[in-house]
A and B are shown apart, each in its own frame.
Chain A
Amino acid sequence: MTALVVLDFDASGIKQPARSAIAAAAKLGGEVHGLVIGSGVGAIAEAAAKIPGLTKVLVADAPGYAHELAEPVAALLVALAGNYSHILQAATATGKNVLPRAAALLDVQVISDISGVVDADTFVRPIYAGNALATVKSADAKKVLTVRASSFDPVPAEGGSAAIEAVSVAPVEGKSKYLGSELSKSERPELTAAKIIISGGRGMQNGENFTKLLDPIADKLGAAVGASRAAVDAGFVPNDYQVGQTGKIVAPELYIAVGISGAIQHLAGMKDSKVIVAINKDEDAPIFQVADYGLVGDLFNILPELENAM
């Protein structure tokens, strides 16, 4: 029994959610291999080889694998599937896009967003926006799984020395073409990897207040900035700031919710945080029901005070 983990990466290396996916794969009890897919990804593969827990790193390096389009990547996974009992990837945008496609080609029912591994066939996953946890057993010969990264402590980035092996599967020519990306530029940590997150809600009133009041605190704490759906819907910040059922699922050490009432769909995205702080002027706001520390008051007074005190 060997598991293959598709590794998410960016220019700076292997992403933390990928290391959580490796941690999930390790619980299956067999060997774990990593797979790096892209164009010009030699350095990424070398970084992957240092991750303890991986015994081998496969590299599919070809221009046709750039941007990880669903068609060539799914075809690649099918080509490699013969050697593996489990194929996993973190439930990132890429993982969620590609793994179900590969699963269908293998005639396997994908199991999305697992938050627990019971045994090699049985997994726990949240349903109904995390309001229930289902334990499901798969009858498929192979398992294709996406992993809720916030539910598994990532393995370390360094300490291992896996063998690197090039994969000679030529990318299939798909019917889709990558045109471009508009990525939010930020010096701050990514939401899904940050140890501290400070999020703003409708109570922030506008985008300028995010910049003026939240950003300086985030910089002092080395935190990422997030937002509720209401703040994104109101256009205060871009869509990719959204924490919640339809946005990012996060579980940092510290989550500070500012001017967020605590709608169920927001709680679904952050209630597994280790420590939650809520700052809200409405003392009956539902966010206080999940907060370890609540501070009732006007955020426009509290935030500058908080910034100065840090």
Chain B
Amino acid sequence: MKLLVAVKRVVDYNVKVRVKSDKSGVETAGVKMSMNPFDEIAVEEAVRLKEKGVATEIVAVSIGVTQAQETIRTALAMGADRGILVETDVAVEPLAVAKLLKALAEKEGADIVVLGKQAIDDDMNATGQMLAALLGWPQGTFASKVEIADGTATVTREVDGGLETVALALPAVITADLRLNEPRYASLPNIMKARKKTIDVVKPGDLGVDVTPRLTTISVSEPPVRKAGIKVPDVATLIEKLRNEAKVI
């Protein structure tokens, strides 16, 4: 069984992002970049499926600038077998990413595509769903547990009121939620080994996909800042303020 896992290079989650002064976007120059945390969870799940003997090969795919190869190397160090970079300078949107991944999933004959549920830069939460649509595959989004047996993926999903379980006939798309697993740290020997693994580089045109964005960013601005209020000395004052000043209780 072959797994495709999609990984995105994003601003590291520890970085406090700053909006550019010309309001064209957020500052990414000289900022630490890392693998999208939800994609790390997706890679970990793929590696565990291989360790369990369910998967035989894991192909890590990233779409973006040349440096996204580093993100693929991270996935290779965690246990993916080889990588594919779809190289483009265009800020690709989920629909275009889904089209590129569809082309690769078909070319590779993938049985499962695993992705993070959302990227922490654009927060779109869409690529997995869009990919499943284009492939005509079932989708198990926001997964907190995945079991594969007899051509079926049983996926427990995080929904608003709790958990929901669905059975998906393979091939299928799965998107990882926060608590699917805890991603491993790549060991030094595995980081060394990952350097020898292959990364193929292709262009969107090679896959016959037009990645022209559908959305134009008019502006990016800072959200309104909330001002700190006052400290109250005791519970009685707090209740008095909530009743008579804020009038919320």
Which residues of A line the B interface, CB within 8 A? Answer: 10, 67, 69-71, 74, 92-94, 96-105, 107-113, 122, 125-140, 174-184, 190, 192, 196, 221, 229, 238-240, 245-246, 248, 253-254, 264, 271, 274-277, 283, 288-296, 302, 305-306, 309-310
Please tell me if the beta carbons of B162 and A175 are within 8 angstroms of each other in the complex.
no
Chain B's closest residue to A112 (CB) is B124
Other A-B pairs, 18, CB within 8 Å; known A127-B220, A292-B229: A93-B142, A94-B159, A96-B141, A97-B129, A97-B141, A101-B129, A131-B17, A133-B220, A133-B221, A135-B218, A135-B221, A138-B214, A140-B214, A181-B163, A183-B162, A240-B158, A292-B246, A305-B235
The answer to whether A132 and B223 have CB atoms under 8 Å apart is yes
- Are A288 and B167 within 8 A (Cβ)? no
**What are 25 A-B residue pairs whose CB atoms fall within 8 Å in the complex?**
A93-B158, A93-B160, A96-B141, A109-B95, A110-B130, A112-B126, A131-B16, A132-B19, A135-B217, A135-B218, A135-B220, A137-B215, A174-B138, A175-B137, A178-B166, A180-B165, A181-B165, A240-B159, A240-B163, A271-B226, A275-B242, A276-B229, A293-B241, A294-B230, A309-B236
Tell me whether B181 is interfacial, beta carbon within 8 Å: no
Q: How many whole Å from B59's CB to the nearest CB in chain A?
A: 22
Could you tell me if A182 and B122 are in contact, using CB atoms closer than 8 angstroms? no
B154: A residues at CB distance < 8 A: 179
**B83 an interface residue at 8 Å Cβ cutoff?**
no
B89 on the interface (CB 8 Å rule)? no
Complex partner residue of B168 from A139, A175, A184, CB under 8 angstroms: A175
Interface size on B, residues (CB 8 A): 75
Least CB separation from A274: chain B residue: B248
- Does A295 lie within 8 Å of B238, measured CB to CB? yes
Which residues of B sit under 8 angstroms from A221, Cβ to Cβ? 249
At the interface, yes or no: B11 with Cβ under 8 Å from chain A? yes
Q: Decide yes or no whether B74 CB sits under 8 A from chain A.
A: no
By secondary structure, the A interface counts as mixed
B235–A127 touching, CB < 8 Å: no
Contact of B162 with A184 in the complex, beta carbons under 8 Å = yes
B169's nearest neighbour on chain A, judged by CB, is A175
Chain B residues, CB < 8 A from A293: 229-232, 238, 241-242, 246
| Cα A294 to Cα B108 with chains together (Å) | 56
Q: Is the CB of B133 within 8 A of A139?
A: no
A109-B94 contact in complex given A129-B120, A291-B229, C-beta closer than 8 Å? yes
B123 at the interface (CB under 8 A from A): yes
- Across-interface contacts of B229 in A (CB, < 8 A): 276, 291-294
**Residue in A99, A101, A136, A306 whose CB lies within 8 Å of B239:** A306
Give CA–CA (A172, B227) in the complex, Å.
Answer: 51
Could you tell me which residues of chain B, from 127 to 144, have a CB within 8 Å of some CB in chain A?
127, 129-134, 137-142, 144
State how many angstroms separate the Cβ of B146 from the closest Cβ of chain A. Answer: 13
Is B111's CB within 8 Å of the partner chain A? no
Give CA–CA (A258, B165) in the complex, Å.
Answer: 33
Question: At the interface, yes or no: B178 with Cβ under 8 Å from chain A?
Answer: yes
Residues of B within 8 A of A184 (CB): 161-162
Within 96-152 of B, Cβ neighbours of A (below 8 Å) are at 98, 120-127, 129-134, 137-142, 144
List chain A residues, Cβ under 8 A from B177.
246
B139–A101 contact, CB under 8 A? Answer: yes
CB of B57 to closest CB in A, whole Å? 23
A274 partner residues in chain B, CB cutoff 8 A: 248
Which residue of the partner chain, among B123, B139, B161, contacts A129 with CB atoms under 8 Å? B123
A47 shortest CB reach to chain B, Å: 19
In the complex, the answer to whether B26 meets A295 with C-beta atoms within 8 Å is no
Separation of A196 and B234 alpha carbons in the complex (Å): 20
B187 interface residue (CB < 8 Å to A): no
CB neighbours (8 Å) of B235 from chain A are 295, 302, 305-306, 309
User: Would you list the 3 A-B pairs with minimal beta carbon distance, nearest first?
Assistant: A292-B229, A104-B130, A104-B133
- A104-B95, A104-B130 known; A254 vs B141 contact (CB < 8 Å): no
Q: Determine if B223 and A139 form an interchain contact, defined as CB atoms under 8 angstroms apart.
A: no
User: Bound state CA distance, A129 and B223, in angstroms?
Assistant: 11
Contact A183 B161, beta carbon cutoff 8 Å: yes
Pick from A132, A181, A240 the residue with the most CB of B within 10 Å: A132
Judging by beta carbons under 8 Å apart, are A289 and B26 in contact?
no
